[in-house]
Structure 1
């Protein structure tokens, strides 16, 4: 059942554009309301910081943290990372750089202009698919994909309501323009995404791998809601845990850090506040 906060958010979404806000709906029976996919999605956007707020505050940013992975041999590996980004009009126009420091090696993965490449010691390389699974998943199958569904031209469908472990949920499917599908499980109490699921078939594989991302330790960063702990499961087995240590939005950033050194620099590659 939607609690008062979420009812308020939904009614704001419905009536704010008309300058109306019917306060009497807070006393109604939420179980009788049939919400649409757009109403649920817009509630999530509102809860995380509003569309305009997210656009202004998260226009660029730097995130630092630590990652714990379980490798193919079953051993645990720990690394630190720094993720920098500049937000585009849609996610495919974003620029993202992920610098990773492992015990034996340091390398970067960079996305820009629709392409992903790797950097190590200043030289480019083509990363293996398994090295880019989480990097790509954080772009195409993450909370941000739902928060920006309109900008990305994605379609949404309300699968229905569900209850798992005493959690009342709304289940929402999102399909982007490349037909990538992500299923979101949204708390009807808080409007937060608790976890999401999607499938990817590895190159050369015959069966898809089912991924699940669970979001924990929600905190506010510059007025926007951020999960500071994310756990990834593959076919039901935990394979990765990411803990954010710091995140800062609206920082001065050189676009040159996203440039492929083998590609001539664009004349517009300059610092952004």
Structure 2
């Protein structure tokens, strides 16, 4: 685990450099009917050490569709379409909330989050030897990490997402590729997401910047309007 933190630039990069940032790129959604949608994605975040949380905002732009923005402002998750408030679908909100806890950076910040980390063992994934760790947060949320035994990079994470009114949790898997060094820290530029074994999303980042000017006000809902469900 400590070698993994070192592989991502060490604790200084995690706690100082990764306090705030913006990532831009392209997103491809794989729909259940076999079709795909391609668009642009922007992710903004502001990590608050004193509150041990992270404000997060995702902006999605698809052709011939309104711009969708999903935000966690420190208290709640909300969404807008072209700036007008909407009510997010239960599945969309559940997946977004899960990202706040289940991500590769949570392992890098395990001390801060007072998480318990347990070594499960070693196995092969796609012919690669990986060490398997389970990280459990104080609220019981658990993420399984698959870490390359050779490079110490986090290659995959798995976690369960419970959606209201859905019978059983959905098994999510995020897989990380195309690692690059950005401002002394290691960043995966391609991320694939699977739900119950089916590929549902691929993100390819083109721009990653840490330490950019981001304020808490950017994560607050401004204006008003009639909410609709997306």
Higher-Rg member (1/2): 1
Structure with the higher strand share, 1 or 2: 2
Residue 104 of structure 2 aligns with which residue? 143
Structure 1: distance between partners of 2:51 and 2:179: 23
Displacement after TM superposition at 1:90 (Å):
7.0
| Alignment pair present for 1:116 and 2:77 | yes
Contact kept, 8 Å, 2:46 with 2:56, in 1: the verdict is yes
Q: What is the match of residue 195 of structure 1?
A: 156
Number of aligned pairs?
A: 223
- List 4+ stretches of structure 1 deviating above 4 A: none
Task: From the two aligned structures, give the one with the greater helix fraction.
Answer: 1
Provide the C-alpha distance between the structure 1 equivalents of 2:161 and 2:32, rounded to a whole number of angstroms.
18
Distance 1:194 1:200, change over 3 A: same
- Is this contact kept in 1: 2:46–2:55, CA < 8 A? yes
Task: State the 1:240 CA deviation.
Answer: 0.8
Deviation at 1:141, TM superposition (A): 1.2
Larger RCO (CA under 8 A, 6+ residues apart): 2
Which region of structure 1 is more displaced relative to structure 2, 197-206 or 62-71?
A: 197-206
Matching residue of 1:16: none
Q: Which runs of 5+ in 2 are unaligned?
A: 225-230
Q: How many angstroms apart in 1 are the aligned matches of 2:161 and 2:112?
A: 24
Q: Are 2:98 and 2:161, in contact at CA under 8 Å, matched by a contact in 1?
A: no
Q: What does residue range 33-112 of structure 1 map to in structure 2 within 5 Å? A: 41-89=1-49, 93-103=53-63, 104-112=65-73
1:153-168 equivalences under 5 Å are 153-168=114-129
Alpha-carbon offset, residue 93 of structure 1:
2.4
How far apart are 1:243 and its partner, in Å?
0.6
SS in 2 for 1:204: coil
| Counterpart secondary structure, 1:58 | helix
For the 8 Å contact 1:154–1:176, the answer to whether it is kept is yes
Q: Please, what TM-score do these two structures have when normalized by structure 1?
A: 0.76
Deviation at 1:213, TM superposition (A): 1.0
Residue 133 (structure 1) shift: 4.5
